[in-house]
Amino acid sequence: MRFVTRDTDYALRALIYMAKLKGRTATVDEIASKGKLPKVFLRRILQKLAGEKMLSSRKGKTGGFTFLLKPGDIKVTDIMRVFQGDIDLTNCLLKGKACPNKGVCSLRKKIKSINSTVIKELDKITIKSLAG
Amino acid sequence: MRFVTRDTDYALRALIYMAKLKGRTATVDEIASKGKLPKVFLRRILQKLAGEKMLSSRKGKTGGFTFLLKPGDIKVTDIMRVFQGDIDLTNCLLKGKACPNKGVCSLRKKIKSINSTVIKELDKITIKSLAG
DNA sequence: CTAAATGATATCATCTTAGTATCATTTAGA
DNA sequence: TCTAAATGATACTAAGATGATATCATTTAG
């Protein structure tokens, strides 16, 4: 069970590192070597976050990445959604079709409520709180 | 995110069906056709459950599967563990090694507590309760 | 003896994941 | 103006997980 994928994990590590720089721009190279993350992979991750308007990026010499949103405004769930899609523990196999099995459906309802709880808890956690 | 895999899902559907038979033995063929589950696949699943001593199996004519444990004693988490292993939302990438990132570790702690909650909730659900 | 059932595997196709490689573009500064 | 250093954008690969099928062996009732 992969609740947090590698992308998300790397992204969080990178963002936590960056949050400690107080606005200073950092290059992929710096973040990768300091955080012991695979460079090329990390690069794609940061590019993605830039595309999502969470980070701003700058090309060329003196380029790099920095926050566009405030670390306190970026939730763990935001990052998970970027790299893993919606957080949904209830992946019913019969999407759309009527379920022939009320038992399974009642289980699904239960898991749905568990899912809400999980999201509510994760929503409380921001990059800032993890970096602090 | 696959919280419940197909094996688990099929197993639950099959067990729910069987729980309604009040002790009667059922063949793979019957369960598969009534539950609209892929036959050969389902067979392996039931064999697994027999290996886990949840079901008893009988070969030959008049053979089939029936419960060894009571449906009320089989929890959803038991089935998940058989097919998916331990329920663990916290899959830290640095198992064993010391984590260089206190932030991520604190997140991990949080997820660990969420995990306990999830398990506690799922532990309340048995095959019997789903079949009822 | 035989048909019907499970036991045990081997195999396969597809998808996801993790990661690499490469070329294009931008930028600062010598 | 040229170049090194940085991101942008993709294409690609390898490995593993997942979902499913196929096959042969064994058991059992009649």
pLDDT of residue B90: 82
Q: Which domains does chain B have, with CATH numbers?
A: 6-131 (1.10.10.10)
- Say how far B49 CA is from C13 C1', in Å: 26
The alpha-carbon gap from B81 to the nearest alpha carbon of chain A, in Å, equals 11
Mean pLDDT check: name the lowest of A49-63, A102-116, B51-65: A102-116
pLDDT of residue A109: 86
Mean pLDDT of chain B: 89
> In sequence order, which residues have a C-beta less than 8 Å from that of residue A28 and are 6 or more positions away?
A39, A42, A43, A46, A64, A65
Q: Which of the pair, A99 or B11, is modelled with greater confidence? A: B11
- Pick from A3, A6, A131: CB nearest B103: A131
Is there a contact between B54 and B74 (Cβ–Cβ < 8 Å)? yes
The one-letter code for the residue type at B111 is I
The residues close to strand D, meaning Cβ under 7 A, are: A 27-29, 43-44, 46-47, 50-51, 57-61, 63-65; B 2, 5-7, 10, 38-41, 44, 58-63, 84
Residue B65 pLDDT level (bands cut at 50, 70, 90): very high
Closest CA to B72 of B124, B120, B7: B124
Protein residue nearest nucleotide D10, by CA to C1':
A44
- Please judge whether B87 and A3 are an interchain contact, meaning their C-beta atoms are less than 8 angstroms apart: no
Residue B83: nearest nucleotide (C-alpha to C1'): D18
Tokens encoding A54: 């969470």
Q: Return the percent helix, strand and coil in chain B, to nearest 5.
A: 55, 10, 35
pLDDT above 60 for A98: no
pLDDT of residue B132: 83
Q: 3-class DSSP state for residue B58?
A: strand
Q: Could you tell me the pTM of the whole model?
A: 0.89
pLDDT above 60 for B126: yes
Degrees, nearest 5: CA angle B79-B85-B90: 120
Tokens encoding A49: 């976050």
Residues A14-47 pLDDT 10s: 999 999 998 999 999 999 999 889 999 999 999 9
Residues B66-108 pLDDT 10s: 999 999 999 999 999 999 988 888 876 554 455 666 666 788 8
Q: Which of the pair, B91 or B16, is modelled with greater confidence? A: B16
To the nearest 10 degrees (0 to 180), the angle between helices A6-19 and A39-51 is: 80
- Please judge whether B89 and A114 are an interchain contact, meaning their C-beta atoms are less than 8 angstroms apart: no
Is there a contact between B45 and B10 (Cβ–Cβ < 8 Å)? yes
pLDDT above 90 for B59: yes
Mean pLDDT within A84-92: 82
The residues close to strand C, meaning Cβ under 7 A, are: A 2, 5-7, 10, 38-41, 44, 58-63, 84; B 27-29, 43-44, 46-47, 50-51, 57-61, 63-65
